[in-house]
Amino acid sequence: MSEIMSDPLDRSQIELLVSLDDGEGAALQEIVDEYLTMSEESGVELLRVLQEGDADAVERAAHTLKGASANVGANALVDVCAGIEAHARQGELQGAAELTEQFEAELSRARSALQTVASRP
Amino acid sequence: MRILIADDDPTSRLLLRAMVSKLGHECIVAEEGASAWDLLASGGIDVLLTDWMMPGVDGPELCRRVREGTGDSYVYIVLTTGLDRPERVLEGMSAGADDYLIKPVDSFAVQTRLIAAERVTELHGTLSQTQAELERANTELLEQSLTDGLTALGNRRRMEEDLIRTHARALRIGRSYGLALFDVDHFKLYNDHYGHVAGDETLRHVASCIDFVVRAGECAYRYGGEEFLLLLPDLRPSDSVAAIGERIRQTVMDAAIPHVARPTLPPLVTLSGGVARWAPGSPLSVMELVEEADGALFQAKSAGRNCIREADSCLHDRVEPSTVGG
């Protein structure tokens, strides 16, 4: 229950992005927009290479998504990506695959929370 | 400062660019290592903020290339990496990074790194400027150490170096060279009559007359006191050392510098000269050739001054022109 209710975004990171704005909301808007685009692609990519059993590609995709997610404060998603990346680095694709469900849930939560942030006037 | 951000993740590029721009720096971005290297190679970048993991040229490789580059300005490199790979920080620093940032980067960390970067790049700028100034000063000092302070002709040290080099070269390639030794006539009487300040002025004047006649590749030196030496490093068989000596003697007389204290006419500053010639096959060393010229100069003095005399080496050379190379 508490997990569902918890905020998927680290608000201090969002505040940091707001603080970088030059008064026109450009930085926050740009970064969130960029993230929404790239996370969709990276999410699909990660699931695909996981299915294919390509450990190196899984590690790279998880790493990329982890870094970008950290930039927008999607910390729960960062943790899941880090877990998948660590498993893939060890060649344990089974362990990585077990995180798939959690990954999809956190990705979806982060994206919808960010869509709210981005659409705010 | 001009800052280059190299990162394959678009959100990281945007984030860093926003931070760097907010701090008042100029910012350019590269999406991967190869294009970052192209931008770095074209110069004008003070700071490189680079990601570790990039397709193609990665962060450490970029660091190595920058450090191996021969650019005269220093690029301060900050590597960005995840917290989970400390061994990468070590590898990056060894590859040439100055500092590192843990992702996700925050504004404060970037700001502190850029303060250090500004100081270090400024220091390097000052250093290379100082080095350039030192090199200029060294060149100038070397030139001064080989120049006669009064006449601005070559001094004794330059003369000795040039004589040795010319002789060695003449031996090697089989060319002739010539020497002319000049002395200002009755210069002691000149000084006694006009004073040493005027004497110095006259030495400068005579030196400029000699310098005026000297052609490209030839060199005039102040041998000492009121004596001058002219070195003619490349003589063709048809060149006459005596003729060049004669031209200098005439030029000085034409300058018509009054010298009323001398016992003989004309009442002008004049030169006596002795000339010598070295030709391939000659057994003489360069110092022996100088002595020959000095002997000829003595003969010119004995003959009444204001004239040029040739040493035996000149006559010998002209008798047997077939021995001359070229």
| Residue B81 clears pLDDT 90, i.e. is over it | no
Is the minimum CB–CB distance between A92 and chain B shorter than 8 Å?
Answer: no
Model pTM score: 0.68
Q: Does this chain's domain B2-140 share its CATH topology with B156-323?
A: no
Q: Which residue of B has its CA nearest to A34?
A: B11
**Interface pTM, i.e. ipTM:** 0.87
Domain boundaries, chain B: 2-140, 156-323
Write the pLDDT tens digit of every residue in B148-206: 999 999 999 999 999 999 999 999 999 999 999 999 999 999 999 999 999 999 999 99
Give the CA diameter of chain B. 99
| DSSP H/E element including B112 | helix B107-145
pLDDT band at A36 (very low <50, low <70, confident <90, very high): very high
Q: Which residues contact B159 (CB under 8 A, 6 or more apart)?
A: B221, B223, B229, B231
Distance between CA atoms of residues B210 and B198, nearest Å: 18
Question: Average pLDDT of A39-68?
Answer: 93
Nearest to A27 among B10, B14, B103 (CB): B14
To test the contact with chain A by mutation, choose from B8, B12, B13, B14 the residue with the greatest count of A C-beta atoms within 10 A, namely B14
Which of the four CATH numbers 1.10.1370.40, 3.30.70.270, 2.60.290.11, 3.40.50.620 does domain B156-323 have?
Answer: 3.30.70.270
Q: What would be the CATH architecture of the domain defined by B2-140?
A: 3-Layer(aba) Sandwich (3.40)
Q: Is A38 on the interface with B (CB under 8 A)?
A: yes
B296-301 CB contacts, 8 Å cutoff, 24+ apart:
B296/B181, B297/B181, B297/B182, B297/B183, B297/B272, B297/B273, B298/B274, B299/B274, B300/B272, B300/B273, B300/B274, B301/B183, B301/B185, B301/B272
Measured CB to CB, residues of chain B less than 8 Å from chain A are 8-12, 14-15, 18-19, 21-22, 53, 82, 84, 103-104, 106-107
Look up B133 and say whether it is catalytic.
no
Domain boundaries, chain A: 2-119
**For residue A19, which residues of chain B lie inside 8 Å, CB to CB?**
107
Cβ neighbours of A68 in B, within 8 Å: 9-12
Identify the residue with better confidence: B3 or B317: B3
Residue from B5, B7, B11 whose CB has the most chain A CBs within 10 Å, to mutate: B11
Domain A2-119 has CATH 1.20.120.160: yes
The percent of residues above 70 in pLDDT, for chain A, comes to: 91
| Tens of pLDDT, residues B228-247 | 999 999 898 888 999 999 99
